């Protein structure tokens, strides 16, 4: 089995992973969306990683979906709404038993991807690292964090896991990755939409704590209903801790809206509301929040799904 890391999506996180793996001498190939993007990438000669004031260029080979050759390991680094269609295009190249590492925030996109590639193994990731694109093919490592990876269907640690340590990518194998993803989703639902609706940084929510607390109560009940008691534990307290610790920051959803980008709401608040409906759980506050957010996105001319 080939040890090459194919990386689907050379955006913020994809580039951050690609550069660190390449720096550690691992075989890496980027998969770009079309010939035009590939030509633009080849014209600049590689990806640039910016860490504080230090910038390094990594001449990582690129290709499009249409290249030939099997893929044994694929890091999926697209946005949640792009992941399944992008992977579907690659399905014919995925070897039997190929491993996919899914970096998408929220929940729902992982199952959409898995449905496209029943012959592959899907490993879910939850990342607190932060990166953003300063320009095409140039990414700034903006926030040190951690990565948890796990496969809900198989607790065995993959043989390649040490590649991450070799590359300086802080990571731990998690046998309860779904609990981590649910917890992160709940934190996101309690904070991010309100920062858009109240047009504020995270600390601005200190003026709306009653609203935040009501959402936390519903989210905690929902987590219990769908078999995630650990993710429900002390949710309200952690949400308040996060609001205080990140008071000066703008949430990712706020930043997406500010820059006129599509949000990942379908896989965050939208997922929570869909799961609640499936379990017959009453979540009036979450539904009202979703409706207000949808109205606000539509009013700005942004996709609301
Ligand atoms: P991003 O910067 O927008 O990068 C996404 C990349 O996917 C873009 O380069 C885009 O290509 C590419 N792409 C989309 N469809 C494609 C296709 N069919 N074929 C090839 N490439 C395709 O997004 P991101 O910030 O890295 O986020 C990725 C995921 O990680 C999201 O779910 C996000 O929530 C999560 N996450 C991000 C961070 C962070 O700090 N950035 C932290 C934690 C979690 P183009 O360049 O051609 O548009």
* Pairing mode, strands 138-143 and 47-51: parallel
Q: How much is the pLDDT for 240?
A: 98
Smallest CA separation from ligand 1 atom 11, residue: 9
Intervals of the chain under pLDDT 50: none
Closest ligand 1 atom to residue 136 Cα is 46
> Which residue's CA is the closest to the ligand 1 atom numbered 43?
127
DSSP-assigned letters across all residues of 150-182: E-TT--SPPTTHHHHHHTT--EEE-TTHHHHHH
Give distance in angstroms: CA of 154 to centre of ligand 1.
26
Ligand 1 centroid distance, CA of 214 (Å): 32
Q: What is the pLDDT of residues 167-187, one digit of tens each?
A: 999 999 999 999 999 999 999
pLDDT at 151: 97
The phi-psi region of residue 32 (left if phi > 0; otherwise alpha if psi is between -120 and 50; otherwise beta) is: beta
> Which residue in 129, 171, 128, 131 sits closest to 150, CA to CA?
171
Regarding the beta carbon of 109 and ligand 1, being less than 6 Å apart is answered: no
50 Cβ closer than 6 Å to some ligand 1 atom: no
Token look-up 């610790």 returns 245
Could you tell which of 13, 108, 184 is best to mutate to test the pocket of ligand 1, judged by most ligand atoms within 8 Å of the CB?
Answer: 13
Q: Is the CB of 11 within 6 Å of ligand 1?
A: yes
How many Å lie between the centroid of ligand 1 and the Cα of residue 280? 33
Decide: helix, strand or coil at residue 60. coil
pLDDT for 2: 73
Beta carbon of 103 within 6 Å of any ligand 1 atom: yes
Dist. CA 86 → ligand 1 center (Å): 11
If you measure from the C-alpha of residue 31 to the centroid of ligand 1, how many angstroms do you get, rounded to a whole number?
12
For residue 127 and ligand 1, the question of a CB distance below 6 A is answered with: yes
Please tell me if the CB atom of residue 77 comes closer than 6 angstroms to any atom of ligand 1: yes
Q: Which atom of ligand 1 is nearest to the CA of 89?
A: 18
- The pLDDT of residue 1 is 63
Go through the chain and tell me how many residues it has. Answer: 305
- Element spanning 49, H or E: strand 47-51
Residue 305, pLDDT score: 87
Cα gap 12→150, rounded to integer Å: 22
Q: Is 107 in the pocket of ligand 1 (CB under 6 A)?
A: no
**261-276 per-position pLDDT tens digit:** 999 999 999 999 999 9
């Amino acid at each position: 089995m080939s040890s090459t890391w194919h990386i689907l999506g050379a955006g913020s996180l994809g580039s951050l992973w690609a550069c660190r793996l390449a720096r550690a001498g691992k075989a890496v190939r980027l998969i770009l969306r079309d010939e035009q993007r590939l030509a633009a990438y080849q014209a600049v000669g590689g990806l640039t990683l910016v860490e504080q004031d230090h910038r390094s260029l990594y001449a990582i080979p690129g290709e499009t979906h249409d290249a030939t050759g099997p893929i044994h390991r694929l890091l999926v680094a697209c946005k949640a709404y792009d992941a399944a269609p992008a992977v579907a295009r690659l399905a014919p190249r995925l070897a039997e038993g190929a491993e996919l590492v899914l970096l998408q925030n929220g929940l729902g996109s992982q199952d959409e991807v898995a449905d496209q590639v029943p012959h592959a193994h899907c490993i879910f990731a939850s990342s607190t690292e932060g990166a953003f694109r300063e320009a095409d093919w140039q990414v700034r490592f903006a926030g040190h964090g951690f990565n948890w990876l796990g496969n809900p269907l198989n607790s065995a640690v993959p043989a390649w896991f040490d590649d991450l340590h070799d590359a300086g990518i802080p990571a731990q194998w998690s046998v309860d990755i779904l609990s981590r993803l649910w917890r992160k989703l709940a934190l996101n639902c309690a904070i991010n939409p309100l920062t858009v609706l109240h047009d504020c940084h995270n600390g601005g929510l200190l003026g709306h704590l009653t609203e935040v607390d009501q959402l936390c109560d519903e989210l905690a009940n929902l987590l219990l209903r769908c078999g995630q008691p650990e993710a429900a534990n002390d949710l309200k307290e952690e949400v308040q801790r996060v609001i205080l610790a990140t008071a000066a920051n703008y949430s990712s959803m706020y930043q997406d809206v500010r820059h006129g980008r599509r949000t990942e709401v379908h896989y965050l608040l939208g997922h929570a509301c869909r799961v609640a409906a499936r379990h017959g759980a009453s979540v009036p506050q979450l539904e009202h929040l979703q409706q207000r957010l949808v109205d606000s996105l539509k009013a700005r001319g942004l996709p609301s799904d």
